[in-house]
Amino acid sequence: MRKNTSISRLMLASVMAFVLLLAACSSGNNDNNSSPDASPASSGANAGGDNGLKPVELTVAFPIFGAEPKDLGLVQDEINKIVKAKINATVKLMPISFGNWNQQMNLMLSGNEKLDLTVTVGGYSGAVAKGQLLPIDELLASRGSGIAEALGNSYLQAGIINGKTYGVTSVRDLAANQGILFRKDLVDKYNIDVSKIKSLDDLEPVLQLIKDKEPGVTPIAPGGLGSTFIDILRLGDLLGDGIGILPANDNGLKVVNQYEMPEYAALLKRFRKWYEAGYVLKDAATNQTQTSDLMKAGKLFSNTAGMKPGFAAQEARTSGREYVTVELASPVATTLEVTKTMWVVPKNANDPERSVMFLNLMFSDPQIVNLLDYGIEGKHYVKVAGSDNTIEFPAGLDVTNHPYRLNLNWLMGNQFLSYVFKGEDPEIWGKMDAFNKGAIKSKALGFTFNVEPVKNEMTAVSNVINQYKRVLETGTIDPEKNLPIFIDKLRDAGIDKIIVEKQKQLDAWAKTQQP
């Protein structure tokens, strides 16, 4: 994933259509992870060096957009100089393209292939239910002080399922709102006053303008591979997977089937109208090209996006274009925003203790964080004169020819330890912190659904969702005809049973919360 909001788009796409690791769950939690008697580290994973720990190589897998960066090996070597000195380990970075991520990770987590540290993308609770992950509570206590300090107790607790912690989220934007990203050149060309766009009704005349005036430019697309418009323009707290949601993030903690909500049908009707009018990317349901690439190529005017502080500048650095944004809703914090990507220790980890120690470095060591984020100083970036924290491309390098551009700052541990790129707000991390703290809190914030009691129904319902969701929520097919069929198939697959179970668990969770 290339960036923080990309994560928002991507995760929802993954949850509802393209990851859904919740499907085909099998029971059993592997609890063979016992923590050694070790004192917590200070700012690093092990302040006192390796303490006689045997050498180990850690395989660390994570998703990326596009091909593996040319200079990944060089950056890995620099990381290993630090990791070897601090925890007597080396890491083997294993980037996997998003196109192959779901399939490859299912194979790796289900089989016996060695994997020491990885990420779940929208499938955290499903991976727990399948027994693919190790509980790490004791290791976090003994080896994860940097993680705990960076995240704080409330965000650590978001990873608890059935009383055990199986993963931790990264430090990033932990809330999301709803918005639209526009190309600034076309906004300026047609004197579009984006400040007047407060709703989808206000947006439609702008889309029509681009359709009429810019042949060859698609007015709008869902943001992110595999995502839909409703993945961003949400109707409430998705409670982890969207199969039973909390409308308006409250609803008196009553779970409903969003696919039967009148508001859902109304949105589908609107998107179908957009599609037939030629506003929407024709292959939106199957498109495999990043929206940033479509923007860069001049083929797209706007896309839906989950906003955050600094989003337009971040997108500009990715595609080389300038953007303006419109927010259609206030930011909301949900468990889904916290757990949409989680760093986890797979059951086949060779040395779980060292896995957590390296993860701790990703949350506490600025050198590790910035190597992962930006590469090697002097080669892949340089500091702006007079600044210790602002960087820019070296002479001769830009977004088109850079040999190390993961664009995964939002994923790589503690983003608040990252440098700020030239042109971005130097106060971005303070504003991001305020964004997180000021977000509307879902009434179910902290609740995680355990899919185990309805694993068979989850498989069946997920299959139906995979068949209908993307084509309906991009306007590709007629909802008048297909939404009733979709709903009937969901019922036949067992969605009502899932919602009853989710309500039962939510009610039990609510009783444990402070009034």
Single-letter amino acid, residue 393? F
Look at strands 440-441 and 332-333 and give their pairing.
Answer: parallel
Decide: 238 and 333 in contact? Cβ < 8 Å: no
pLDDT of residue 256: 98
- At residue 169 the predicted structure's pLDDT band, cuts being 50, 70 and 90, is very high
Q: What is the pLDDT of residue 514?
A: 64
Contact by Cβ (8 Å): 446, 514: no
Q: How confident is the model at residue 470 (pLDDT cuts 50, 70, 90)?
A: very high
- Does residue 310 have a pLDDT over 70? yes
Q: Does residue 391 contact residue 381 with C-beta atoms inside 8 Å?
A: yes
475 HSE (CA, 13 A, CB side): 21
Q: Which ranges of 159-282 would DSSP assign to H, the alpha helix?
A: 184-189, 200-213, 229-232, 262-277
- Distance, CA of 340 to CA of 80 (rounded, Å): 28
For residue 449, being part of any structural domain is answered with: no
70-110 pLDDT per residue, tens: 999 999 999 999 999 999 999 999 999 988 998 899 899 98
pLDDT at 317: 76
What's the chain's length in residues? 515
**Sorting pLDDT into bands at 50, 70 and 90, what band is 515?**
low
Is 19 contained in some domain? no
Q: What integer pLDDT is reported at residue 508 of this predicted model?
A: 93
Six-digit token pair at 259?
């696919």
The answer as to whether 465 is a domain residue is no
Closest CA to 67 of 137, 12, 2: 2
pLDDT of residue 36: 30
pLDDT of amino acid 383 = 97
pLDDT score recorded for residue 51 = 61
Higher per-residue pLDDT: 268 or 176: 268
Res 436 pLDDT > 90: no
Reading the block at residue 302, the tokens are 């706007």
Cα–chain center distance at 326: 21
pLDDT confidence bin for 226, thresholds 50/70/90:
confident
The number of beta carbons lying within 10 Å of the beta carbon of residue 116 is 26
Please provide the average confidence, as pLDDT, over all residues in the chain: 88
Q: Is the pLDDT of residue 12 over 50?
A: no
Has residue 20 been placed in a domain? Answer: no
CA distance 398 to 381: 10
Q: Which helix (H) or strand (E) holds 129?
A: helix 124-129
Residue 49 has pLDDT above 80, yes or no: no
Q: What pLDDT is attached to residue 168?
A: 96
| Contact (Cβ atoms closer than 8 angstroms) between residue 60 and residue 358 | yes
* Model confidence, pTM: 0.72
| pLDDT mean over 434-445 | 87
Examine residue 25 and state whether it is found in any structural domain, yes or no: no
Least confident of 41-45, 49-53, 115-119, 279-283: 41-45
Mean pLDDT across the stretch 183-205? 97
Residue 474 has pLDDT above 50, yes or no: yes
CATH number at residue 400: 3.40.190.10
Please count the helices (runs of H) and the strands (runs of E) in the chain. Answer: 20, 18
For residues 492 and 290, the model is more confident at: 492
Q: How confident is the model at residue 294 (pLDDT cuts 50, 70, 90)?
A: very high
58 domain-assigned: yes
- Residue 130 · residue 346 · CB < 8 Å: no
Total of domains in the chain: 1
Q: b or e along 48-68 (b: 16 or more beta carbons within 10 Å of the residue's beta carbon)?
A: eebeebeebebbbbbbbbeee
Instruction: Please check the confidence at residue 176 and state whether its pLDDT lies above 60.
Output: yes
Give the pLDDT score at 158: 81
Task: Tell me what pLDDT residue 63 has.
Answer: 95
Q: Which residues of 356-384 are buried (b: 16+ CB within 10 A; e: fewer)?
A: bbbbbbbbbbebbbbbbbbbbbeebbeeb
The verdict on residue 354 lying in a domain is: yes
Per-residue model confidence (pLDDT) at position 500: 98
Q: Is residue 414 part of a domain?
A: yes
β-pairing verdict for 179-183 and 300-305: antiparallel
- Taking 60 as the threshold, does the pLDDT of residue 48 lie above it? no
pLDDT-derived band at 414, boundaries 50, 70, 90: very high
Q: How confident is the model at residue 147 (pLDDT cuts 50, 70, 90)?
A: very high
Which pLDDT band, with edges at 50, 70 and 90, does 313 fall under?
Answer: confident
Q: For residue 388, give its domain range.
A: 43-173+333-442
What is the percent of the chain with per-residue pLDDT over 70, rounded to a whole number? 90
